[in-house]
Amino acid sequence: METNNLTAPIAAEKDRNTLTVELMNRMKLHGMASAFTESLASTMAETMTIDSFLHMLLAREWDYRANATIQRLIRGAAFRYKACLEQIDYTIPRGLDRNQMERLASLEFIRQGQNLFITGSSGTGKSFLATAMGYEACKKGIRTYYANAPKLMGTLKVAKVRGTLESELKRIERSALLILDDLFLVNLDAKERPILLDIIEDRHGRKSIIITSQLPTDNWYDAIGDPTVADAIMDRIIHTVHWIELTGESVRKMAVYKGK
């Protein structure tokens, strides 16, 4: 009977702590719940003042939510693969300026609603650079939308037939950064031109677009097809644009050669 009296407070404390963790999780305070659970398995709480302990719990919750937001933005962006600015290889001879990339990495051009063109032949790393910039934007809390341009145009043409084009365009418009990968890989047709113009018109001067293309910008007019639409599109994206022109051989081919 005496033993039960000694263990009762311990059992009550365990029940209270279990309930505390349960309540935190019910209130979606998952970061705080994790930190509190860790503190129970260590002497952390015993060595901290009440205000320090509370600060630690709140800081863990803040970090948890910030990371959850980043992961949600990355999933929503629908990147084809993962790419980071830290992985960029500046030793490859392709005309890539490290200073320019570091300036762009600040993402100030996105905050100012400016655009970025990345042009160059196949395999020079255009998509990687654009995706790395997109990942950096997500890490800074900037909503990003990645799309392979030819596939996107096809999807939007189907949406127009189904009467859902407006909702699809609104979904794109919600993103502060739009990445159009491999734009003008094939020439636009009569149905695609007005759709692209709508996308660009909605973003003009307010939100950013990163365009990658194998075609030099001088050939974009021909790829658009209609001179009037081409003038309207180019006029809206060419001002205050940043431009990376990649040169040299395919990075993919160089990697194959090195592996042999």
Residue 5 clears pLDDT 70, i.e. is over it: no
112 and 230 share one domain: yes
109 & 158 share domain: yes
Which of 32, 55, 76 marks a domain boundary? 76
Q: Both 186 and 91 in a single domain? A: yes
Domain that holds residue 14: 2-76
pLDDT at 13: 62
The alpha helices in the chain, defined as continuous H runs, are 2-26, 30-40, 50-77, 98-105, 108-111, 126-139, 149-162, 165-173, 192-203, 220-224, 227-237, 251-259
What would the two tokens of residue 21 be?
């963790």
Distance CA 83, CA 81 (A): 7
Same domain, 53 and 163: no
Q: Are residues 84 and 182 in the same domain?
A: yes
Q: Are residues 82 and 147 in the same domain?
A: yes
Q: Judge if 70 and 176 occupy the same domain.
A: no
Do 64 and 159 fall into the same domain? Answer: no
Check residue 256 and give its pLDDT: 40
Instruction: Give the mean model confidence (pLDDT) for residues 38-65.
Output: 87
What confidence tens digit (pLDDT) does each residue in 108-131 have?
999 999 999 999 998 899 999 999
- pTM: predicted TM-score of the whole model, two decimal places: 0.81
Measure the CA–CA gap between 232 and 108, rounded to whole angstroms: 25
Give the pLDDT confidence score for residue 190 in this predicted structure. 94
- 30 and 144 both lie in a single domain: no
Task: Provide the CATH number for the domain around residue 197.
Answer: 3.40.50.300
Identify which has the larger pLDDT, 239 or 126. Answer: 126
* End residue of a domain, out of 54, 76, 98: 76
Q: Which residues have CB under 8 Å from 38's CB, separation 6+?
A: 44
Q: How confident is the model at residue 257 (pLDDT cuts 50, 70, 90)?
A: very low
Percent of residues, the chain, with pLDDT higher than 90:
71
